[in-house]
Amino acid sequence: MMHVPDDSDRVALNARDVRFDWSQLPVHWIPGEPFATHLLDVLHLLLPEGERWFVRLFSDVLPLVTDPRIAEDVRGFIGQEAMHASSHQSVLDHMAAKGVDTTPYVEQVEWVFRDALGDRDLTGDAARAWSIERAAVVAAVEHITAFLGQWILDARALDTAGTHPEMLDLLRWHGAEEVEHRAVAHDLYMHLDGRYLHRVRSLVLIAPILIRLWARGTAFLLSRDPQPSRPRWRDLRRAQRRGLAPGTFATVRALLAYLRPGYHPSQYGSTDAAVTYLASSPAARAAAARETG
Amino acid sequence: MTAAPGPPRPDRLLRTIARAAAGAAVVAARGGVRLPRPVDRDLKVVVAELTAEAPDAVGLRLARPDGAPLPPWRPGAHLDVLLPSGRLRQYSLCGDPADRTAYRVAVRRIDAGQGGSLEVHGLLPGTRLVVRGPRNAFPFVVAPAYLFLAGGIGITPIAPMVRAAAARGADWRLVHTGRDLASLPLSERLAGLDPARVIRRADDVHGGVPTAAELLADLPAGAAVYCCGPPAMIDAVRRAVPDGHGFHAERFSPPPVRGGRPFTVRLGHGGPVVEVPADRSALAAVRDVVPDLAYSCQQGFCGTCHVPLLAGATEQDTSAPGRMALCVARARDATPLVVDLGRHVEPCGGSTSPPSSHKVP
């Protein structure tokens, strides 16, 4: 390994026992912004299945890990991802209770993660190679989620737009934990394999899939809105201009950064910003109170 | 095993994804498998010096036998210390992060504890120890101002933070509380940084333990609150910190099992039987047989170690009906539990795992 970072800023990873109450959540939780609301609502449809896939996959590769520190990080990561999945699932359940049937889209997402990206009935070395390849895919996804996490921590426009505080706390708690654990999947992949080509081709595989699924999810939710509409590019550009969606340029730059041979997640995002948010997050504070007692 | 539902609407996008994933699996198999080499994270150190930090607190200076530099750390970090008896304890680093030649910890003697602190107090200079880490579950972040609250030996992770805040020129206050002035280690020296910023508050002078409101009385605007001390103190302060102030406390390992009864868990019908002692969780006992079993929070909520329960009844169980949270649930009666780990386990096992650790603040 050419690059041994000073890893003294690593933070011990622990899942937080967060709970959320959606009883007061309006349909458009960014007031007057149906497009931006549904663009971010896709997270609740896309993430639970994706994160459960992370948990299954990392539980399966854990026996291959021979570095106790990486094993410890992976265990912390698994618990955090499990809590992300169940928290987004709670929003999905709330939508269902409100009569928004998301199953046609969610079934497609399930199929992608359970079938296409599942175990594929492989055995022996082929199964192991596919598991490690998918660990590289998770590392690529985690690069994207760390970028989105840092974006949501910094997106002051969501505060000024009057975003529903419970939802903003869910998104920022999640974003902060993504930033906090952003190096785990990369470190795991570098430990298990580490080949550059395998690392970057995973991003080439997964990034278009995620972008297409996200676009489809946004269109799906807009069509199920009380005032149904179709997605338009100018709605996206407007949301981006107002700071309610990540910018195209910043997103492309972040994706390209992953291709750098000396890439390490610690070079992007701020652990301090994540820790600072978690110290004041209502959900994280209530979780800490629950855990002590 | 969940049956794959198949593409609900096998449209172009899903077919493309299926083809791409199938191709990736083939390409991955062609690339072959590399297996990682074992990594040894144990640090071998020697007790270089013992100092009396308070009548009941001893300070340890740990260095490598050859004097080589130790891994770097930041304020708030702690160390796993494997004591000669095999006990594993976690102690906060209380020295100077810039000093790479040694780690410093301070340990208060707890006569009614589980014996770890008594063992530390009995160590002699030159004793060889194995330590792991450092690890940071109490990260110190940049803030415009700080209020540090330490209870007794809880000063240990706070001390390096105070020095860092002072060096940074931040606005800071330290309140160190304890039974009497003699039970307040380290803070006398910290007061030397700026006596006006340090309050050493003894319960015997002030007529009892302080309330959270008293501790938070002198809270600078926008200050981050860093608190380490007895759980009751941390809890009271957490509840009282006003909005607009971050609250930071250390994330501790799950507490040891108390008041449990021994029981047995069978790993699948016809699988090996695991005896769970009164003071251990089923998860800890099962991991002796299946060391790479996945788990995470060890408090019952994350769901990673919730497994199907094939027979028997559980209590204190946070999992869904028909399942068992291995980390917290125990058998309700003498009937052995049978769980399904989703894999075949050879009925031998017998490997030993390190003893459970619990950090004493």
Q: Looking at chain B, which residues constitute the CATH 3.40.50.80 domain(s)?
A: 145-251
Average pLDDT of every residue of chain B? 90
Contacting residues of A for B18, CB less than 8 Å apart = 115-116
Q: Do A65 and B238 touch (CB under 8 A)?
A: no
Sequence-separated (6 or more) residues with CB below 8 Å from residue B227: B148, B149, B150, B154, B233, B234, B237, B238, B247, B248, B249
Four-residue CA torsion sign, B64, B66, B67, B73? negative
Q: What percentage of chain A reaches a pLDDT higher than 90? A: 95
Residue of B nearest to A52 (CA): B304
Average pLDDT of every residue of chain A? 94
**Residue B181: strand, helix, or coil:** helix
User: Does B98 contact A at CB distance below 8 Å?
Assistant: no
Q: Looking at chain B, which residues constitute the CATH 3.10.20.30 domain(s)?
A: 263-344
Q: What is the enclosing helix (H) or strand (E) of B264? A: strand B263-267
User: Does B303 contact A at CB distance below 8 Å?
Assistant: yes
pLDDT over threshold 70, residue B351: no
Distance from CA of B119 to the nearest CA of A (A): 26
Pick A275's closest partner by Cβ from B77, B139, B304: B139
Contacting residues of B for A191, CB less than 8 Å apart = 36
pLDDT over threshold 50, residue B353: no
DSSP B71: P
Query: How far is the CA of A229 from the CAs of A104, A145, B171, B194, in angstroms?
Result: 18, 28, 53, 63
Contacting residues of B for A128, CB less than 8 Å apart = 33
Task: For residue range A117-133, list pLDDT tens digits in order.
Answer: 999 999 999 999 999 99
Distance CA B343, CA A55 (A): 16
Pick A125's closest partner by Cβ from B33, B71, B132: B33
Give the residue among A13, A82, A69 at the shortest CA–CA distance from B304.
Answer: A82
Q: Is A220 left (phi over 0), alpha (psi -120 to 50) or beta?
A: alpha
Q: Do A115 and B301 touch (CB under 8 A)?
A: no
CATH architecture of B263-344: Roll (3.10)
Residue B8, pLDDT score: 63
Q: Looking at chain B, which residues constitute the CATH 2.40.30.10 domain(s)?
A: 43-134
pLDDT over threshold 90, residue B218: no
pTM: 0.93
Residue B342, pLDDT score: 83
Distance CA B17, CA B7 (A): 11
Interface test with B, best of A108, A120, A291 (most B CBs within 10 A): A108
Pick B29's closest partner by Cβ from A79, A80, A129: A129
- For residue A112, name the pLDDT band (cuts at 50, 70, 90): very high
Q: Do A66 and B38 touch (CB under 8 A)?
A: yes
Pick A79's closest partner by Cβ from B13, B73, B304: B304
Task: For residue range A188-205, list pLDDT tens digits in order.
Answer: 999 999 999 999 999 999
Distance from CA of B292 to the nearest CA of A (A): 5
Pick A120's closest partner by Cβ from B5, B25, B235: B25
pLDDT over threshold 90, residue B183: no
Pick B296's closest partner by Cβ from A15, A195, A275: A15
Contacting residues of A for B141, CB less than 8 Å apart = 272, 275-276, 279
User: Does B99 contact A at CB distance below 8 Å?
Assistant: no
Q: Do B21 and A64 touch (CB under 8 A)?
A: no
Q: Are A196 and A259 in contact (CB under 8 A)?
A: no
User: Does B22 contact A at CB distance below 8 Å?
Assistant: yes
List of long-range contacts for B219-223, beta carbons under 8 Å, 24+ apart: B219/B147, B219/B245, B220/B145, B220/B146, B220/B147, B220/B171, B220/B172, B220/B173, B221/B144, B221/B145, B222/B143, B222/B144, B222/B145, B223/B143, B223/B144, B223/B145, B223/B146, B223/B147, B223/B171, B223/B173
Distance CA A58, CA B177 (A): 44
- For residue B165, name the pLDDT band (cuts at 50, 70, 90): very high
Contacting residues of B for A130, CB less than 8 Å apart = 24-25, 28-29
Give the residue among A16, A88, A51, A13 at the shortest CA–CA distance from A283.
Answer: A16
Distance from CA of B190 to the nearest CA of A (A): 24
Pick B39's closest partner by Cβ from A67, A104, A116: A67
Q: What percentage of chain B reaches a pLDDT higher than 70? A: 93
Contacting residues of A for B22, CB less than 8 Å apart = 116, 120
- DSSP string of A177-227, one letter each residue: HHHHTTTHHHHHHHHHT--HHHHHHHHHHHHHHHHHHHHHHHHHHHHTSSS
Task: For residue range B20-67, list pLDDT tens digits in order.
Answer: 999 999 999 999 888 898 899 999 999 999 999 999 999 999 999 999
Distance from CA of B8 to the nearest CA of A (A): 6
Task: For residue range A228-243, list pLDDT tens digits in order.
Answer: 999 999 999 999 999 9
Q: Do B299 and A291 touch (CB under 8 A)?
A: yes
What length is written for chain B?
Answer: 361
Q: Please state which CATH class domain B145-251 belongs to.
A: alpha beta
Tokens of B315: 């209590």
Query: How far is the CA of B189 from the CAs of A156, A263, B62, B155, B159, in angstroms?
Result: 42, 43, 21, 12, 10
Q: Do A62 and B5 touch (CB under 8 A)?
A: no
Distance CA B263, CA A114 (A): 36
- For residue B348, name the pLDDT band (cuts at 50, 70, 90): low
Fold of B43-134: Elongation Factor Tu (Ef-tu); domain 3 (2.40.30)
Contacting residues of A for B39, CB less than 8 Å apart = 66-70
Phi, psi (rounded to 5 degrees) for A90: -65, -30
Instruction: Count contacts between A and B (CB, < 8 Å).
Output: 193
Pick B8's closest partner by Cβ from A75, A107, A117: A107
Phi, psi (rounded to 5 degrees) for B111: -65, -30
DSSP A115: I
Q: Quick one: chain A helix, strand, coil %, rounded to 5?
A: 70, 0, 30
Tokens of A240: 């981006």
Q: Do A67 and B36 touch (CB under 8 A)?
A: yes
User: Does B325 contact A at CB distance below 8 Å?
Assistant: no
Q: Are A20 and A94 in contact (CB under 8 A)?
A: no
**Residue A9: strand, helix, or coil:** helix
- DSSP string of A54-66, one letter each residue: HHHHHHHHGGG--
Interface test with A, best of B19, B225, B228, B301 (most A CBs within 10 A): B301
